[in-house]
Amino acid sequence: MTMDSLPQEPGSPPSSRSMPGAISSRGRGWVGLEAEFGLIRAGLTKVPASLDHRLGIHVGPSVNAACRCDGRVHRRVQSHGDIDVVPAGLAGEWEDDADCSILRFWISPALIRQAAREVGCDPDRVALAPQFQLRDQRIEHIAWALKAELETEISSDRLYAESLGMALAVRLVHGAVAARDDGLPARQTLSPRQQRRLVDFIETHLDRELSLGGLAAVADISISHLKALFRQTMGMPVHQYVIRRRVERAKALLLAGTMPISQVALAAGFAHQSHMAHCMKRVLGVTPRQVVGIGR
């Protein structure tokens, strides 16, 4: 069930998943995470209880706002980057004195439980509490990266959204257990065996959809340890490494000149030709057609 399917009072203001003209992650295949960015008109917005945890981040000029949630009323000047955290099952009302832009996230309890296990916490002991006007630079950095994903016409690799979603969930878990920062290894690296297995697996499966869970299983470590150790070993995040390897494979195939550009994109693991062109331009600074021209 989504918030859209929850009952609302006739004539009540729209729920938080119905901002007119908003851009949304729906249809992008994100697992455990949904995002939306749009304009909220001045006045009252009622937000019914959801099965997911919710984050709302104020974007742009400040507004005077009032929030009624969890039996309390919060009156404040809402500034750029202010974060409201509303746990699953909690309804609320938000009232602003001017139009404002909001970046919203819905995080499934299943993703929070997975993040808790990844950082060595008992999921049953992690309970998110409502927070208002929270300031957290790490959450902001993740949020702006996800906002950029919403705004791009070409979606990045699924690994990228998965990584950001897990990072957001981990940060919320850390906050729920007094911001513990000792759950991840600080200076360790992948063992030579783990590195070899991961590199071989990625090379063999570049033309298929890869996931953090699947790669963590190959290395026999948790997802959060995979992310930390891979970056410390390879000098870049998992998703960035995979994109670079796909770009290099696509370049080799294009130079070979044995298949059309559209087929090269699929053979290298890209969703479509435009996705390949976007990534190749970003990594190599040239387009697929320019690579083809070099090979002639």
- The whole-angstrom separation of Cα 83 and Cα 104 is 10
Q: Are residues 45 and 65 in the same domain?
A: yes
Q: Are residues 168 and 45 in the same domain?
A: yes
Strand order in the sheet with 63-69: 43-47, 92-96, 63-69, 72-78
Mean pLDDT of the chain: 84
Is residue 187 domain-resident? Answer: no
Q: Are residues 221 and 126 in the same domain?
A: no
Is residue 110 domain-resident? Answer: yes
Confidence of residue 18 (pLDDT cuts 50, 70, 90): low
Q: Are residues 68 and 153 in the same domain?
A: yes
User: Domains in the chain: how many in total?
Assistant: 3
Query: Cα–Cα distances in Å, from 12 out to 22, 67, 75, 285?
Result: 19, 16, 22, 51
Pairing of strands 43-47, 131-134: unpaired
Q: Are residues 249 and 217 in the same domain?
A: no
Residues in the chain: 296
Q: Are residues 59 and 206 in the same domain?
A: no
Confidence of residue 78 (pLDDT cuts 50, 70, 90): confident
Q: What is the pLDDT of residues 145-168, one digit of tens each?
A: 999 988 887 766 778 888 899 999
Q: What is the pLDDT of residues 272-285, one digit of tens each?
A: 999 999 999 988 98
Tokens read off for 20: 């007119």
CATH number, position 94: 2.60.120.10
Q: Are residues 260 and 123 in the same domain?
A: no
Confidence of residue 180 (pLDDT cuts 50, 70, 90): very low
**Full residue range of the structural domain in which residue 257 is found:** 245-295
Residue 215's nearest CA partner among 158, 137, 287 is 158
Could you tell me if 115 and 168 are in contact, meaning their C-beta atoms sit under 8 angstroms apart?
no
CATH number, position 255: 1.10.10.60
Confidence of residue 95 (pLDDT cuts 50, 70, 90): very high
Arithmetic mean of pLDDT, 14-35: 76
